[in-house]
A = this chain, B = another copy of it.
């Protein structure tokens, strides 16, 4: 059976989710949007993704309501892409999946550490703050470079910006 773009025949919520975020590159685009990437060129440079694929993914995420397109300049017309509240709620699945990858696959120690921005506590794999004893929404999370982040790696502006602690969702303004 053709799974199809819309996962016909699969009667479950997971399939519905995969229908939106299951294509190649999509979850990485969402992850970058969580870091605060907003501009086409920044997504493209940081992910090194083919432009045609990025264009299609961004449009699909806008159509699905996970990103919204915002005009940031009129002449020439320039749009940026910002996570909606629906998109933001993917924070826990994205975090927990990344932590699973880090624990079982990655090696070299954690590349990114996620902290509760207000009390500085490092969060667990489901964004739980042990100090405040509550789950922390993405709006209150700060990402920091971890010991596994190599210094000789990416030179795009987003990678450079993420070498310092950075509040999630805060725009990474590269120009």
Which residues of A are in contact with B by a Cβ distance under 8 Å? 1, 3, 9-22, 24-25, 27-28, 31, 47-50, 65, 86, 89-90, 92-94, 96-106, 110-112, 125-126, 135, 149-150, 153-154
**B28/A106 in contact, CB under 8 A:** no
Nearest CB in chain B to that of A47: its residue: B10
**A98/B14 in contact, CB under 8 A:** yes
Number of copies: 2
**B111/A100 in contact, CB under 8 A:** no
**A28/B14 in contact, CB under 8 A:** yes
- In the bound complex, residues from chain B placing their C-beta under 8 Å from that of A47 are 10
- In the bound complex, residues from chain B placing their C-beta under 8 Å from that of A9 are 48
User: In the assembled complex, how far is the CB of residue A118 from the closest CB belonging to chain B, in whole angstroms?
Assistant: 21
Evaluate whether A101 and B16 lie within 8 angstroms (CB atoms) in the complex, with A11-B153, A11-B154, A154-B11 already known.
yes
Q: How far is the CA of A3 from the CA of B24 in the complex (A)?
A: 8
Q: How far is the CA of A107 from the CA of B17 in the complex (A)?
A: 12
User: In the assembled complex, how far is the CB of residue A137 from the closest CB belonging to chain B, in whole angstroms?
Assistant: 13
**A13/B98 in contact, CB under 8 A:** yes
What are 6 sample pairs from A and B whose C-beta atoms fall under 8 A apart?
A12-B31, A18-B101, A19-B105, A89-B104, A90-B97, A93-B93
**A111/B12 in contact, CB under 8 A:** yes
With contacts A18-B27, A92-B100 known, what are 4 further pairs, Cβ within 8 A? A1-B49, A11-B153, A16-B102, A97-B97
